[in-house]
Amino acid sequence: MSEKPEKLIDKKGIRLDGRKPDELRSIKLEVGVIPNADGSAYVEHGKNKILVGVYGPREVHPKHLALQDRTVLKCRYHMAPFSVQERKSPAPSRREIELSKVIRESLQPSIFMEYYPRTMIDVFIEILQADGGTRCASITAASLALADAGIPMRDLVVSCAAGKADDTIVLDLMDEEDKQGKADVPVALMPNLNAITLLQMDGKLTHEEFESAVNLAIDGCKRIYSMQKEALKAKYINVKEEAEE
Amino acid sequence: MASVVTRVKQKQIAQLIDKEKRVDGRKPNEYREIKVEQGIIERAEGSARVRLGKTEIVVGVKVEMGEPFSDTPNEGVLTVNAELVPLASPSFEPGPPDETSIELARIVDRGIRESKAIDTGKLCIEPGKKVFVVFVDIYVLNHDGNLIDASALAAMAALLNTKMSNYEVEEGEVKIKSGYMQLPIKQHPITITCAKIGDKLILDPCLEEEQVMDARLSMAIDDDEDICAIQKGCAGYFTPEQVIEFSKTAKEKAKQIRKELDW
A133-147 pLDDT, tens digit each: 999 999 999 999 999
Beta carbons of A151 and A57 less than 8 angstroms apart: yes
Hey, is the C-beta of A108 within 8 angstroms of any chain B C-beta?
Answer: yes
With a cut of 70, say whether residue A245 has pLDDT above it.
no
CA B238 – CA B226 distance, rounded (Å): 21
Chain B contact probe: residue of A199, A205, A206, A219 with most B CBs at under 10 A: A199
Beta carbons of B200 and B212 less than 8 angstroms apart: no
Number of domains, chain A: 1
With a cut of 60, say whether residue A1 has pLDDT above it.
no
Cβ A197–B3 below 8 Å, yes or no? no
- Which CATH number covers residue A219? 3.30.230.70
pLDDT of residue B3: 55
Greater model confidence, A121 or B14: A121
Beta carbons of B125 and B131 less than 8 angstroms apart: yes
- A186 in any annotated domain: yes
Residues of B within 8 A of A202 (CB-CB) are 110, 113-114, 228-230
- Average pLDDT for B148-153: 98
Beta carbons of A176 and A66 less than 8 angstroms apart: no
Hey, is the C-beta of A104 within 8 angstroms of any chain B C-beta?
Answer: yes
Confidence of residue A47 (pLDDT cuts 50, 70, 90): very high
Query: Considering only CA atoms, which of B145, B151, B150 is closest in space to residue B207?
Result: B145
Residue-wise pLDDT tens digits, B162-205? 998 888 888 778 888 888 999 999 999 999 999 999 899 999 99
CA B36 – CA A149 distance, rounded (Å): 51
Pick the CATH number of B25-261 from 3.40.50.720, 3.30.310.10, 3.20.20.140, 3.30.230.70: 3.30.230.70
With a cut of 60, say whether residue B2 has pLDDT above it.
no
Chain B residues with a Cβ under 8 Å from any Cβ in chain A: 3, 70-71, 99, 102-103, 105-106, 110, 113-115, 217, 219, 222, 225-240, 243-244, 247-248, 251
Cβ A205–B102 below 8 Å, yes or no? no
Greater model confidence, B212 or B36: B36
CA A103 – CA B101 distance, rounded (Å): 17
Residue-level length of chain A: 245
* Range A117-140 burial, b when 16+ CB lie within 10 A, else e: eebbbbbbbbbebbbbbbbbbbbb
CA A204 – CA B18 distance, rounded (Å): 34
Residue-wise pLDDT tens digits, A19-44? 999 999 999 999 999 999 999 999 99
Residue-range definition of the domain harbouring residue A60: 27-244
- Average pLDDT for A41-51: 97
Chain A contact probe: residue of B6, B193, B196, B227 with most A CBs at under 10 A: B227
Where do the domains of chain B lie? Answer: 25-261
With a cut of 90, say whether residue B99 has pLDDT above it.
yes
Q: How far is CA B56 from CA A93, A182, B28, B36, B149, in A?
A: 28, 34, 22, 10, 11
Cβ B230–A218 below 8 Å, yes or no? no
With a cut of 70, say whether residue A59 has pLDDT above it.
yes
Residue-level length of chain B: 263
